[in-house]
Amino acid sequence: MRGPNGALLPDYSGARAATMDIVHVGLWALLSPRSRTYGLTMTNKPTVPEAEILDNKQCWELLRGVSVGRLAVWAQDHPDIFPINYKADHGTLVFRTGEGSKLHAALSATPVALEADGVDPQSGVAWSVVVKGKAESIKLTQEVLDTVGLLLFPWQAGRKDHFVRIVPTSLTGRRFNVTPPLTWWSPLDDATRAGLE
């Protein structure tokens, strides 16, 4: 189905068709020789399994090592996503934002998710950590300023009047080998390397 400008219109039939296809995909994946050879063909690479699940401590170490993350919010009827600067603060994450749709959506009834990631270009090991929780507006007290304020330079120039804290209800992290070419990945922060060593 196409709209007036030639763009495909939203089509939910794919979801129904998927019910059938998932069986095929599942079977095909089991039978696929590729699914069995990953572990064997990568013997000369760093020994990181397909996706290693990280524990909370590792997740926090990695989160503390970078400053840029992506914030996913629910904006009325669709998800939206923004790059943000954040800072880990006593088991929570704090970021700064101006008045606008990002702040509005972040503080809505729906919780938010913040993802940070990185890759070590030498070893080809990448990681991704997702924090989920409720975002709440916080007052800029001296305590907040001392711990996070000075370090939270706005990633984007302009007035950033609001501080928002994410109190995690869930923290998940994965580490995995990136298949070449690594040049695909733009390193977000060199500090991520230190986090992996």
Partner 1 sequence: MKTKPSAGVERLEPDECWDLLAQTNVGRLAVLVDGHPDIFPVNYVLDGDSIVFRTGAGTKFWSTLTTPCALESDGYRTFSGKAWSVVVRGQTHLILDRQERADVDALGLDPWQPGIKDCYLRLTPEAVTGRRFKTKRPDLWGTPLNDARLDDFH
Q: Is there binding between residue 193 and partner 1 (CB under 8 A)?
A: no
Under the binding rule (CB under 8 A), the answer on residue 28 touching partner 1 is: yes
> Which residues inside 123-182 make contact with partner 1, applying CB under 8 A?
126, 128, 130, 132, 153-159, 176-179, 182
Out of 55, 99, 136, 143, the only residue in the binding site for partner 1 (CB under 8 A) is 99
Print burial letters for 22-45: b (CB count within 10 Å at least 16), e (below 16): eeeeeeeeeeeeeeeeeeeebeee
The CA distance from 101 to 86, in Å, is 18
Choosing from 46, 53, 91, 104, the residue that interacts with partner 1 (CB under 8 A) is: 104
Does residue 33 touch partner 1 according to CB under 8 A?
Answer: no
Q: Can residue 95 be called a binding residue for partner 1 (CB under 8 A)?
A: no
For partner 1, which residue of 4, 6, 139, 142 counts as binding (CB under 8 A)?
A: 6
The residue written with tokens 């690594």 in the block is 182
For residues 94 and 116, give the distance between their C-alpha atoms in angstroms, rounded to a whole number: 13
2: DSSP letter: B
CB of 138 to partner 1, least distance (A): 20
DSSP state of 146: I
Closest CA to 108 of 141, 70, 80, 129: 80
For the chain, the distance separating the N- and C-terminal CA atoms, rounded to the nearest angstrom, is 50
Among 54, 59, 60, 67, binds partner 1 (CB under 8 A): 67
Segment interacting with partner 1 (CB under 8 A) among 11-19, 55-63, 88-96, 142-150:
11-19
For residues 36 and 118, give the distance between their C-alpha atoms in angstroms, rounded to a whole number.
27
Only one residue has tokens 């749709």, namely: 101
Taking CB under 8 A as the binding criterion, the range among 56-64, 79-87, 88-96, 138-146 that sits at the site for partner 1 is 79-87
Nearer to partner 1, 60 or 129 (CB): 129
